[in-house]
Amino acid sequence: MQIDPFLKRIGVQSLPDSALEGLQTLHRAMTRTVPFENIAILEGKTISLAPDALYAKVVEQGRGGYCFELNSLFAGVLEYLGYAVERRIGRVWANGAPAPPLTHMTLRVTVAGQAYLCDVGFGGGGLREPLPWEIGAVGHQLPDSFRLDGTDNGETMLSRLTGEGWKSLYSLLPCSMRPQDYLPANHYTSTHPDSFFTQAPVAALNTADGRITLRGRVMRRVGANGESERELLNQEELFQVLTEDFGLSNLNEAALGHRLSGLFP
């Protein structure tokens, strides 16, 4: 792990002496600079979870990734810095699936005896900073509020407060995982035709007062001044959004154009 290039990638010049403040700084910075995105899948690339491949993709190539990539990289950074890290796996309920499979990775990080849920790879509506792992307590991360609850089957559910009440985002198994345990789920997520990530472009990034998200042709912005949404008209607009809004570089426009030929009318 070369920590200085990673810190430069996420815009952090130095870390505070406090371990908790350092964790908070890293988490906030990564969710505001490294986008959640699936573009490499649509370019026809194989998604590797090898530490050197993740480092090369995110730090050296200026790309983002999804949960298995971003949280794996984050776990490696935290372990290099001396944090106690447990890897977890869970089910995403936010998309409305009645029985979702285990396709989401998060981290449980302990600092000075207090455990925190860390997740830099969930996408729109995810955590901005570490959330204390305290069942029933509400954590406020402006402009969002989150809560962890126990479930009848022993999992831990993360919910976010919306205008319609608490919305379940994902539930986590109580056991810790090893890096190799994610390989089957990563393969399914990045290759199966039913996977959400193999069908259309997806991207998300936190901003100072909200977030930006891309789903298919729809670009959405949420901030202190409200919400706005627009439909992209062609591939040129899509490439512009990926480059300028999400900061992605080295896009294979030819491969993307071929894969997304049916996305635009």
Burial classification of residue 175, based on how many CB atoms lie within 10 Å of its CB (0-12 exposed, 13-18 middle, 19 or more buried): exposed
CA dihedral 181, 184, 189, 190 (to 10 degrees): 110
Provide the CATH number for the domain around residue 87: 3.30.2140.20
For the segment 125-138, the average pLDDT, to the nearest whole number, is 95
pLDDT confidence of 68, banded at 50, 70, 90?
Answer: very high
**Full residue range of the structural domain in which residue 117 is found:** 3-195
4, 27, 52, 67: the catalytic one is 67
Q: Phi then psi for 23, rounded to 5 degrees?
A: -60, -45
Is 119 among the catalytic positions? yes
The answer, yes or no, to whether residue 124 has pLDDT greater than 80, is no
Give mean pLDDT, residues 208-223: 93
Q: What per-residue confidence (pLDDT) applies to 125?
A: 87
Q: Which residues contact 3 (CB under 8 A, 6 or more apart)?
A: 77, 80, 81
Q: Is residue 162 part of a domain?
A: yes
Return the pLDDT at 123.
86
Among the options 27, 104, 181, 192, which is catalytic?
104
pLDDT at site 128:
95
The 8-class DSSP code of residue 60 comes to I
Instruction: Please report the pLDDT score of residue 199 as a whole number.
Output: 92
pLDDT for the residue numbered 44 = 94
In a domain, 53, yes or no: yes
Q: How many CB atoms within 10 Å of residue 129?
A: 18
pLDDT of residue 1: 78
pLDDT number for residue 12 = 97
Does 184 reside within a domain? yes
* Separation CA 26–CA 147 (nearest Å): 21
Q: What distance in Å separates the CA atoms of residue 54 and residue 61, rounded to the nearest whole number?
A: 10
Query: Does 80 fall in a domain?
Result: yes
pLDDT above 80 for 100: yes
Reduced to 3 states, what is the DSSP secondary structure of residue 155?
coil
Q: What is the pTM of this model?
A: 0.95
- Of 265 and 123, more confident: 123
Tell me whether residue 58 is in a domain. Answer: yes
Asked if residue 33 is part of any domain, the answer here is yes
Cis peptide preceding 143, ω within 30 of 0: yes
> Is-catalytic flag, 258?
no
Report if residue 265 sits inside a domain.
Answer: no
Q: E strands of 81-209, at which residues? A: 84-92, 102-111, 114-118, 131-132, 138-141, 144-150, 156-162, 165-172, 202-206
Q: Is the pLDDT assigned to residue 177 strictly greater than 90?
A: yes
pLDDT grade, residue 58 (50/70/90)?
Answer: very high
> How does residue 243 score in pLDDT terms, banded at 50, 70 and 90?
very high
Whether residue 96 has pLDDT greater than 80: no
Q: How many domains does the chain have?
A: 1
* Helix runs in the chain, H state only: 3-9, 19-33, 39-42, 51-55, 67-80, 183-191, 235-240, 253-259
User: 119, 144, 181, 209: which one is catalytic?
Assistant: 119
Tell me what percent of the residues of the chain surpass a pLDDT of 70.
100
Counting Cβ atoms within 10 Å, is residue 98 exposed (0-12), middle (13-18) or buried (19+)? exposed
Q: Which of helix, strand or coil describes residue 206? A: strand
User: Is residue 179 a part of any domain in this protein?
Assistant: yes
Could you tell me the pLDDT band of residue 90, with boundaries at 50, 70 and 90?
Answer: very high
